[in-house]
Every structure is written in C-alpha cells, then in structure tokens.
Structure 1
Amino acid sequence: MGHLITLATCSLNQWALDFQGNLERIIASIAIAKQRGATLRVGPELEIPGYGCLDHFLEGDTVLHSWEVLAKILASEVTMDIVCDIGMPVMHKNVIYNCRIIVHNKQILLIRPKMWLANDGNYRELRFFTPWSKQQQWEDHFLPRIIQAVTMQTKVPFGDAVVSTIDTCIGVELCEELFTPASPHILMGLDGVEIFTNSSGSHHELRKLRTRMELIKEATLKLGGIYLYANQQGCDGDRLYYDGCAMIAANGRIIAQGSQFSLNDVEVVTATIDIEDVRSHRAKSSRSMQAAAAARYHRIEVPFALSGGKFETVKDEDMVGFGNQVFDVRLHTPEEEIALGPACWLWDYLRRSRTQGFFIPLSGGIDSCATAVIVYSMCRQVAEAAARADKQVIADARRITGEPEDSSYIPSDPREFAHRIFHTCYMGTENSSVETRRRAKQLADAIGSYHTDLNMDTVVTAVRNLFAFVTGAKPQFRAHGGSAAENLALQNIQARLRMVLAYMFAQLLPWVRGKVGGLLVLGSANVDESLRGYLTKYDCSSADINPIGSISKTDLKRFIAYARDAFDLPILSSFLEAVPTAELEPITETYVQADEADMGVTYDELSVFGRLRKVDKCGPYSTFTKLVHEWGSFLSPLEIAEKVKHFFFEYARNRHKMTTLTPAYHAESYSPDDNRFDMRPFLYPSHFPWQFKKIDDIAAVLPDRSHKGPSADKAKKE
C-alpha cells in the first residue's frame, strides 16, 4: 500500500426548488466527507435545484438561484482542501446545459456539461437541456458577477475535459452516460483517467438495482479504475422515488455501498483505496496498445494531491478495496423493496405536504390491505429512525402529530404512531360481506390505525331515489332483472360515493379528534387493474396519491406474504386466501362477484400483457405471435387470439381512465400512467379491425399444440 486516497460519494434527499434545504444538505455532506478524511466528494445530479424541477429548468430564476447557492458554497470554508463535484443547470451562450461544477479551494476548476441525455420513460431531459455534442472539446465560460466576486475568476473551462491532480486524474460521467453503449468513461480511462465520478438522478423500480450495480462494476472491470456513484434519494415532488444506494467500485468490484431506502436526508459513503491498484490492474498489453492510440483529453491541472504524498497505512476498519477482500453487496428482494420504497416515498410526501396523516377506505381486499401495510411499514421505519435518535425524523413526527417542538414525544412504537397519523374506514353497503368487514377491522387493530366503520346504504339509496324521481325510471341490479347498463350504473354509484365520503372524512377526522389540518387520501388501485381499466373513474381509486398504483397484483400478494411474517401480522393470511371481489353487486345463491371473472383475464395474464405492450413495445398482432410460442402448450391459437383481442379491446376502451389516474409511486416498467411515462392516445379504434383480422387469419391456420385440440385427441387414440 502506497498512495492511499479516501473518496466520498453521497445520497441526498433533495427537493425541487428547495434551494435553502438543498444548500444545507450539500454543505452537510461535504462536511461529513472532510471529517472522514476524504479529498474528493461527489453529489447527486442537479443537486442544487433538485432533479425534479421539470419545466422550471426553463426559467431564468432556477439558473440564477443555482448560481446564488453555489456562491454561498464557494464563499464558505467547506471546499477548502477537498475537490467537490456539484450539480446544477448552467446557461452557456444562451443554451441551458445539465452540468457538473468541479470546485476546489473556493475556485471553479471545470464545468462539465452532460453529453447524453435521458429522454424516455419517466425522463424528458431534452425538453429542458441541450446535450454537449463537442466530445473532448472545451471552451471558455464567462462567470456571472456573483461568482466572480467570490472566486476572482472571470472565466473557466466549459466542456468535455478532465481534472488532473498531482497524483491522479479525475473524469466526470453523468447518469445516463453510464447506460449508453459508448460511455465516456471508456475513452477517459484509456487516456489515463483513474477516478470516475457519476452523479445520478436514478429512480427506483422493482428489481432495477441489480442492473445499475452490474453496469457500475462493468465500467471498471475491463478498463480498471475507481468509480464513485452518487444518487438522489427520496421523493423530489413527483411520482418517482430516488432510491439512493451510493456506491464505490474498484476494478470491477463494489467496495462500498450506502442504503437503498432510508429516511436520512444526508448519507455519505466513503472508502480508502490505493491508487496503485488501478495501475497494476491496467498493466495489460492489449489495454496498453489501445491506450497508446487513444485521443487526448484536455487536462485541467490543480496543484493538489488526493493522497498524502508519502507511504501510509490505514486502520483495519477503513481497509476497503485492497487485495482480495470481499465486500458483501446488499440487494433487497422485491417484497422488501415494496415494503421500503413506497413507505419512504409516503414519509417524504407526508412531511413535505404539511398534512397530518393519511386516510384510506379499507375494503377488506388485498389492494387496500397492501396499501395499509405499506403505511405501517413507514411507521416502523419512523420508529427505527427515532430509536437511532434521528433529529430530523423526530422533529417531523412531532410536527405531524401536533406535538410541540420542545415536547418529549418520541415515535418509538409503530402502532402508537400509526394510531396518531393513519385513519382507515370500512364503507359497507348491503352488498358487502361479513368477512370483508371483519378483515378490515382486524387489520386496523393489528397495525394500530384509527378505524371507523359505516354503512352507506342510505346515501346510495338517496342517489338512486333522486334519479328515479327525476326520470321516472328506477334502475335495478342484474340479479333483480336489470339491464347491463343499470347494473353497471348502480355499481358505480357505490364506488363514486366512497370517494366523496373519503374526502369528507379526511378533511374532518382530525377536527373530530381535536386536531387541526387534514389528511392525505390514499388510493389503492394496482397496476394491472389500471392497465385493464378495471376501476370506476372518480371512484375511491381517485385520491391524492397511490403507493401501489405501479405494482402488480402478483407482487402485492408476495409482499403481503412477506409482511405477514416480517411484521408479525398473522391476519394477513386471511387476505391472501380471499377471492378478490369488488362487492358492488348483490350476492345470490348462484352468483358471487369476482374480479378475475369480471375482467375476463387473470392477474398473472395482465402482467404478461402489460410487459408485452409497454416494455417489449408490442401491438395486438405482435402480442399474439409471441404468446403463441409462450402459451401454445396449454392454449390453442384460437383461445390465445380471443384473449389477446379481449385484452386490447378492454384496454383501449378504458384508456381514458388513465388521464385521471391518481399520481402513483412508480415501481414497475409497464405502468400505464398517462402522465409522461406511458404516452399513448386515450381514444382508440377499440375493435382494431385491421389488427384483429390479421390475428384471426393466422390463428385459423396455426396447428394446435395445447394437447386438447382434435389433433391431440387423435394422437392419444393412436
């Protein structure tokens, strides 16, 4: 061990346009990094204004306030004796760029603009920023006067360059650039860059972290080098939850990792490495031949060494990245991700919206059950943070519960805290069952929510009678001889009245309990029901936010099975065993309403259709051709054709519901959310005459491999 360098990366819970709060968190992270002996610190993407400013990036105010925050950072002593990589928007020659500002000792060394922008799925960076297209080129950027007054610099380098210290070389890579086929770190590494920083605003999706981690490891496996990954953390004011998990990799191995889900506003990850390990890893003939021919980057020289400049030793607890030491990478299961991610998102939304808690209509079904358990998981995380004496969490909990700032209240018991901030209500009708009412009550008791129970038949009857009085016609359920139109309208009356009652209770329950303020109404429509349109527009799926709106029914069931044991909630077994039902039609001796029967497809099938439609970008015909291969062993081509046509017809005629979908936590790559993520029409030719005819023509001539057609019967006889 010779040239030891302590490096720091971080996850910050930044908030769009919260310049004061963002400044405080940035300064806190730099101070922690310096306290641990780090000489290089990297932060998340666009950390000064917050990543989620969206169209506010087009406002001159956002750029101005970002410079003002940077001026405060530079004017302080915090950047002395440490190189800091800080993110903000910069207007260069009247063009707005997403930039990293590299600073040291109150000086700006380099402004590095992002070259490859994220512009699909949840991201629209090209709407706000322009990519820097002059690879390995730089030019002068003239600084605003507020910065000149602090740094005494008139202009600084702007572009695709690297920073050269006395003992090593640092290159910058921004978020999406890691995911591109020809990532900048390749050419930088061949030109001698040994330390790479990556500042990201990467959101959480179920099972996504492994992909991100593999890309970070691969970045230095063949190339060699140290890779510092920083990420935004928390709810930035939108549907996304940025899941942190700052990491440091060395020569293809993860050597330090932060938490993926945390209530901490500032989390710093450090590692002490020996830069000589990079040089020995790169001592390969083929790599050297490519490096010798590599194009040159302009180097910004800084008279500062990241290492101590002499032979050093390090404490055993700080020895990460050396030799063959093994670091245990932590990856959560999808069930744990559901328990933690949406819960952290809810906590941010609750504390930043300045409301006093949550309200949910608890139906006794698995969807509202899962939503309630996620809130309970949030309460558990709050209690765990309070047990660690997290001052910010305790202060937020006191404010939310109406306790004075100087009180001694500590939210140490999750059930007690849930009773203060979580409100559930069973809204029954004559079509509701004893079983669902009992399950709702038992779940509320188990998690500690403030529970109410009501029958809303009088309200439903009043609306039904009003319609009869005005029109002279009284609608009846199908079970009582009514038409399909009557039957659907009577179901929707119940569903929509639940939404009206939910908002009334959410506004007044704190008043009933002697508190002030209001509650956030939680929705509980899952991603599969939204995809199929199996919900009533403006019913109790309409809410303020929805923590499960992008989670499949299949994953929700697995989560409930996990939570039953992990949270010691045996009542959850009864939810897993129950048949999903809306309970909006009368129960008779021959009929009990069931969700999958109503939809005409199973929840597992909906997940398959969703992934083919969105992730694999398949239309009706492509979906059919793929499923013929995947389902052909147990369904005939004609049966598959009918399922495909049924799904696309129902999806198309219900697509308009997605325009009013409650803002939901984004957790799944096939979410049908109409807002920015799934940009499709909401008025379709729902019978798809051209596409469906092609499916029918092909299905009619394909052989039946399902072992239940005529050819299969003939084979059995032979």
Structure 2
Amino acid sequence: MKSELEIRESRKMGRKVVVAVCTLNQWALDFEGNLRRILESIQEAKEQGALYRTGPELEICGYSCEDHFHEPDTFLHSWQVLAELLKSSTCQDILIDVGMPVQHRNVSYNCRVVFLNKKILLVRPKMMMCEDGNYRESRWFSCWTKERQIEDYFLPRMIANITNQTTVPIGDGVIATKDTCIGFEICEELWNPQSRHIPLGLDGVEIISNGSGSYMELRKAYVTVDLVKSATFKSGGAYLFSNLRGCDGQRIYFNGCSCVAVNGNIVSRGLQFALQDVEVTTATIDLEDIRSYRNKIRSRSHVAASNPPFPRITIDFALSDDSDMCLIVNRPIEWKYLTPEEEIALGPACWLWDYLRRSGQGGFFLPLSGGVDSSSTACIVFSMCTLICEAVERGESHVLDDVRRVVCDSEYTPKNPKELCNKLLVTCYMASENSSQETNQRAKQLASEIGSYHFPVLIDTAVKAVVGIFQAATGLIPKFKSNGGCVRENLALQNIQARVRMVLSYLFAQLMLWVQGRPGCLLVLGSSNVDEALRGYLTKYDCSSADVNPIGGISKTDLKSFLLYATNRYRLPALSDILEAPPTAELEPLAEGKITQTDEQDMGMTYAELSEFGRLRKMHSCGPYGMFEKLLHTWSERTPQEVADKVKHFFRCYAINRHKMTVLTPSYHAETYSPDDNRFDHRPFLYPVNWHWQFRQIDESVSLMTKIQETESA
C-alpha cells in the first residue's frame, strides 16, 4: 500500500533524477585501496537508484600526495586506476566523475574526469587554486584559465585501447544529457568570490557537482554548509558537494559532510565524523522545481538571456526515466551542527584511528600526568574505542577487521570500550620527587575508569644519573631556585625531568607489547595544547615530543570544556577533580607535599590571554604594534601600560621559543591560530628578541595616551 504522501507525489508531473554524492576515506598513494573504495561507492550509488555519481577531490591518488605530484609515477598510476574503472562492469550504465591529476601539454592540472560506459566525456581542470591555511596547491598544479573553452586532450594509449578514443575534450565545458545539464566546480571554486556556479547556473546548467578536499576546524562546519546553500539560493539549481573523510597522511582531518542542496535548501547530507570508509548519500531531485524557481527570479532570467554559453558535450543518456513519477523528491532538512566539545570528542578520535590502523602499530602509549592535557588525550582515545565498538555493533565489518589486525588476533571482538581501551592504550604516571600524591591518584583513577593498561614509575634514579654525569664532568651540582640555585640551574633541572620522561616513553612504547606477549610496538602520544605551543611553554624534546598529538591544535579553554562534556558523555567522574586542579608541570620541589608551581604563573599570562594573542597574531595578522592597538579596545578595563607590558612579554617569549615549533609533534589541526611550523604557519624561527623598533612604537603610544589622560583629568 502506498502512503498518502507517495500517492500525492506520484501525481506530480516532472522529471525526477536520483544523484549520489560520495564521502571516501582515501589515503595518499594507496591506489589499490582507493580504487576499491571508489568501486564500492559506485556500486552503492547504483543500488540506491542513482544514475549520476560524483566523488571527492583527487580521490584516485589521494589529496595529500603533495610533492609526489612532481613524480610521473603518480600520474601513471592514476591513469591505471582509471583504466580499471573504465573496464569494470560496476561502472556500466551510470554517469560517473572522479578526481585525479592530469598533465596536458606538460602542465599539471587537478581534474574531474567524466565517463560513461567506457567512454571519457570530459576532463574538467580546476580553475582556482587554494593557497591559504594548509593548502599549497599551486606548488603542484596550475589553474585552467581558458574560460568557456575546451581543447583536445590526447589520451594515454592504455586508456585509448579501452575507450577507442584518441582525443577527448579538456577544459571549461559541461555535460548535456537528454534531460538536463551538468556542470562542475572543484573545491576552492565554491569559496572564491567569482565562483563558477553563477555563470554555470545562468547558462542553464541545472546540476553542479563539487569534488572537494575540505578539512575541519573547530566551529567552522557552518561555513561549507552556508556556501553550498547560497550557491543555489540566488540562481536556483542543484548543488552536489562530495568531500573527503579522514586522515590521508597529514595533520588535517577531512570531515565529510557531503550533501545535496536544491534551490537554497539542504535536502540530503552525510555524516561529519564517522569510521565508515565509504558513505554514499543520494537525493531525488525534481528538475521542474529548479526550472520554476529560476523562472520566478526575473532579474536572473534577464541576465541569463545574454550569458555567454559554455561548450556542451552532448550525450545520449538520461538521468530520469518513465518510472520517475514513483520517486519521492527529497524535502529540505535542518542541518544540526555539533558543539565544539562534540567535535573534539569525535574528530581527533577518528584521526587517531586512521593513523593507528594505517601505521601498522599495535596501540598507543601515553604519559598520563593527571592534568587537563594528558587526560584530554586519554579521553580522546577512549572516545575512539567507543566509536569502534559502536561501529562493530552496527555490523561494519571493515572496522572489526582493522581492530583484529591491530591487536593481532583474528578471533577478537571488542566487548565494550573499556575492554578495548585496555588493549589499545598503555598509560604511565612518571613520578619524580616533585610529583604530588594528588596528581598520581587522579591519573590512577582516570586510567581505571577508561580501562587503560596503567602503571606508575619513578624517574628519580634516571634524573640523578644524568645530573651525576654533569657533576663528574664539571665538578658542579646544579640546584633548584628554592634551594639556592640560579634561574639557569632551576630551568636545567626541570628540563632534565621532562626529557627523561620522553626517553622512557619511547622505551616503554617499544617494549610494552613485548611484555604483554603481543607483537609490534606502540605509538607515543603527545599532550601539549595549542596555547602552550604558541607561547613555547614546553621543553624541547620532552614528552611533548611524540609520534602524534591529538590535542596539539586545541586550546586549553576548549579542552576544559571537552572534559566537562566527557564527564557525562563517557561517565568519567575522575575528570571532575582533574578540572578543579590548577594546571602544573610539577617540575619544581614541593612545599610540605603541596605544589608550588602553576602553569599560568610560570608563563606570565593566562590561557585566555594566550588564545587572544594567537588569534590576533595569525587570524588578524598583527605584529606587536598592531596587537597593542587592538587590545587597547578589547582590554579597555586595563591601562595602556598594562596592555603594552602584556604584549611585549608575549612577543619576547614568542621570539625566544619559536625554534621549538620546528620539532613540534605532528598534531591534529583544529585551530585557526595554530603555530605549526612550515605547514600552517609560515614564519621564521629566529627573531630579534627585543623587537626594538616595534616596542619603541608601543612605548611612544603609551606615553602619548598617558599625557592625554593627564590633561583631560586636570
């Protein structure tokens, strides 16, 4: 029996088409795996009734090949994968476009290749490169600059033998089927002020697809959604956005969210974070809805009447058929955004899982101090275990296969997150004579609640041995400041403890699975946050030096909010005490068993102030004087001299410690003010520490403002 809605829809006249956008977890240079996932997505699209399938950017080779795009092998293997797609029966009777690199007349382009039934219809090169954030596309590719022009592309012989074509069109063209017209954007073209979807829509292109490689940043999911919606709001049409998912070999995480928009509304969407390697999202579109919407916007129609046409590649194929009256058109849906706390719980967890299963290692090792940072890292691993168990319960067999491969047990099935965490995470409280019982107990309790394999060790013997070597060489014994030592002695003794912990971390990471009778090694996890990296408040080559760091791009403020969320989400009462405790490195002697050292006191600034400095430095491109001017208004309750002192203190510390960013552990990118050297943040690591010229300008402004205030008060 048909529902009333189905009967009502079946009476509506119009051409309806089913289209599919695909979210794929591709991996740079994993041509075999990438091919398998592309084929799986095409098969799923066909099973869901789609006659057009589009996928993410550079899906054949993986987006983050970077300088491998300078290698002929990358282009060769991409064509070989395309050859397998063309020959596959899975790809028959469905219009497909895939992303891959193509060289034309000795110029490399980032392209979409459109094909149908063993015939390549169009090679559409990217026309606008992305150069900001973590993107450096023009290092490897050039823009196609010939608007509304196509040329002959001479196919490699391996492809010509399959398609029986010598040349195919390459350029800024569109595909005209029997019933509609399809155009293309590639990632950055959606973001650019002169987006191609406007002239495409004015030329009557009704479906525009975008294969994208867009990565996540906290609180930024709405940006892509708003752009996709607006792409069809002013000029009507359907917009198909396909995005990558996962860690494909870099610090960034592609966060999915593939979707379809029609006439300014989202009608279908995929997940933001998930462990699925392949997710196909379909939508049924009524083409007459697009035509009616456009016709009502009279100013658009007047402009469209004189719009220069795009070259059309006409094909004998339709996306609709005679049975389309039975299809139910997708209606607008509301996009529900994740909170920042949920993004922290899910994004780094998925990133860690990708890294672990593709690295060939057996789990993670984490120095667990009982503080906010290392506890956040531990909770993210527990979140990863939770996601894995949920996926296994849903019957996602590839996740279970990966788990069994990681733990080296072909019969293993995780019972619950806590039990799985015991197999994947080893935590260690590395105590010294300066460590308090409170932090030891907090670490022990949290480890018990998440189920990690936990043990404490004392590092004093190793620290004394290192100091003993120095004493034997120099005849001098350094002392802490509280024991009469100078600042240099005090700092050196703190750094010895921190660096010994790093050495021990790698020793345990290499041998703990041997202790447990399991093959393989563990990945060492770092746990320094983005604010400490910005300030340089870490010891070079201490236990912030690790294999990967899931919280290295997240602020202290956000980590505290995340732990508050995790307390209830994962039922971890130990986090309450951790949140209430003042952040401390515990590297200086205790006073009657109590800590005498806090992070904010050591740094000379609060974590909230650090976040402010970071955003002004990176997002607003402020030097010392520009930052001072902006903070005068932001911190209006402070005197100009107080603001000046804070700004100068930050920039001195920043200059002194910038070199530490050159060895910063690869971190999950989540924050727009990350100081990640040579990736996201292209700045020197050697600075004039005193900033003479810049600070003098600040001092002169303070002097002038002070005189003005004195005159006004008189």
Q: Is the 8 A contact 1:186 1:223 kept in 2?
A: yes
Match of 1:313 in 2: 326
Equivalent residue for 2:15?
A: 3
Superposed counterparts of 1:188-267, under 5 Å: 188-267=200-279
1:157 maps to amino acid: P
Encode CA deviations 1:149-191: one digit per residue, 9 max, x unaligned.
1110110000000000000000000000000001000001000
Is 1:497–1:539's contact at 8 Å kept on the other side of the alignment? yes
Match of 1:299 among 302, 312, 316: 312
Q: Which is worse superposed, 301-310 or 670-679?
A: 301-310
Q: Is 1:388 the counterpart of 2:394 in the alignment?
A: yes
Aligned mates of 2:473, 2:400 — CA distance in 1: 55
- The 3-state SS of whatever aligns with 2:655 is helix
Give the counterpart of 2:664 among 661, 664, 672.
661
- Post-superposition Cα deviations, 1:324-380, rounded to whole Å, max 9, x if no partner, equal xx4121211000000000000000000000100000100111000000000000000
Structure 1 residue 79, shift from structure 2 partner: 2.3
| Residue aligning to 1:397 | 403
* Structure 1 counterpart of 2:687, one-letter code: Y
**Distance (Å, rounded) in 1 between the aligned partners of 2:277 and 2:194:** 34
SS across alignment from 2:90 = coil
Which of 335, 340, 346 matches 2:341? 335
Give 3-state SS (helix, strand or coil) of 1:451's partner: strand
- Quote the offset at 1:285 in angstroms: 1.3
CA distance in 2, matches of 1:41, 1:699: 62
Shift of 1:310: 5.9
Contact 2:51 2:94 survives alignment (8 Å): yes
Structure-1 residue corresponding to 2:161: 149
* Match in the other structure for 2:151: 139
Query: 1:557 aligns to what?
Result: 560
Match of 1:422 among 421, 425, 432: 425
Deviation at 1:85, TM superposition (A): 1.2
Tell me the CA shift for residue 693 of structure 1: 0.4
Q: How far apart, CA to CA, are the structure 2 residues paired with 1:388 and 1:173?
A: 35
Aligned twin of 1:624: 628
1:648 aligns with 2:651: yes
TM norm structure 2: 0.97
Deviation at 1:13, TM superposition (A): 0.4
| Alpha-carbon distance, 1:314 to partner | 2.2
Amino acid at match of 1:29: S
Once the two structures are superposed, residues 489-524 of structure 1 have per-residue CA deviations (whole angstroms, 9 ceiling, x without a partner) of 000000000000000000000000011110000000
Distance 2:62 2:189 in 1: 19
Q: Matches of 1:245 and 1:711 in 2, distance apart?
A: 58
Indicate conservation of the 8 Å contact 2:86/2:162, yes or no: yes
Match of 1:32 in 2: 44
Q: Distance in 2 between matches of 1:694 and 1:263?
A: 52
In the alignment, the residues of structure 1 paired with residue 572 and residue 370 of structure 2 have an alpha-carbon distance, to the nearest angstrom, of 15
Question: What is aligned with 1:288?
Answer: 301
Paired position in structure 1 for 2:616? 612
Specify whether residues 229 and 412 from structure 1 end up closer, same or farther in structure 2 by C-alpha distance, changes over 3 A only: farther
Give distance in 2, aligned partners of 1:62 and 1:70.
12
**Deviation sequence 1:405-446 (CA, Å, 0-9, x none):** xx2x21230000000110000000000000000000000000
Q: Which residue of the partner structure matches residue 29 of structure 2? A: 17
Relative to structure 1, the CA distance from residue 509 to residue 591 in structure 2 (aligned partners, 3 Å threshold; closer, same or farther) is closer
Paired letter, 2:315: V
Which secondary structure state, in structure 2, belongs to the residue aligned with residue 665 of structure 1? coil
Q: Is the 8 A contact 1:523 1:545 kept in 2?
A: yes
Question: How far is the alpha carbon of 1:311 from its aligned partner?
Answer: 5.7
Verify the 8 A CA contact 1:386 1:412 in the aligned structure 2: no
The 1-side partners of 2:711 and 2:226 are apart by 47
Partner residue in 1 for 2:4:
none
Q: Is the 8 A contact 1:351 1:396 kept in 2?
A: yes
Find the partner of 1:271 among 267, 270, 283. 283
- Paired residues of 2:529 and 2:553 also in contact (CA < 8 A): yes
The whole-number CA distance in structure 1 between the counterparts of 2:619 and 2:513 is 43
Q: What's the offset of the Cα at 1:309?
A: 4.3
1:357 maps to which of 343, 346, 363: 363
Instruction: Give the structure 2 partner of residue 369 of structure 1.
Output: 375
- Could you say what secondary structure the match of 1:173 adopts? strand
User: Contact 2:17 / 2:324 at 8 angstroms: preserved in 1?
Assistant: no
Rate the CA distance shift 1:636–1:579 in 2: closer, same or farther, 3 A. Answer: same
For the Cα contact (< 8 Å) 1:365–1:580, is it kept in 2? Answer: yes
1:467 and 2:473 are equivalent in the alignment: no
The amino acid that maps onto 1:221 is F
Report the number of matched residues.
700
Question: Match of 1:72?
Answer: 84
Q: Is the 8 A contact 2:528 2:551 kept in 1?
A: yes
* SS class of match (2:89): coil
Check whether the contact 1:247–1:258 (CA below 8 A) recurs between aligned residues: yes
Q: Give the aligned residue type for 2:485.
A: G
Any idea what the Cα deviations from partners look like across 1:28-82, whole Å, max 9, x if unmatched? 0000001111011110100000001000011000000000000010011222221
Question: Does the Cα contact within 8 Å between 1:637 and 1:704 map onto a contact in 2?
Answer: no
1:502 aligned residue (502, 505, 508): 505
CA distance in 2, matches of 1:563, 1:710: 52
Does residue 599 (structure 1) correspond to residue 603 (structure 2)? The answer is yes
Equivalent residue number for residue 60 of structure 1:
72
Structure 2 residue aligned with 1:520: 523
Shift of 1:313: 2.1
Comparing 534-543 and 562-571, the one that deviates more: 562-571
| Residue matched to 1:587 | 590
**Structure 2: which 5+ runs fail to align?**
1-11
Amino acid aligned to 1:174: I
Question: Do residues 441 (structure 1) and 437 (structure 2) align?
Answer: no
Other-structure match for 1:345: 351
Q: 1:703 to 1:275 in 2, by over 3 A?
A: farther
Distance 2:19 2:516 in 1: 51
- 1:702 Cα deviation (Å)? 1.8
SS of 1:8's equivalent in the other structure is strand
Amino acid across the alignment from 1:446: E
- Give the Cα separation in 2 of the matches to 1:685 and 1:311: 69
Contact 2:436 2:595 in 1 (8 A): no
Q: Once the two structures are aligned, what percentage of the paired residues are identical?
A: 58
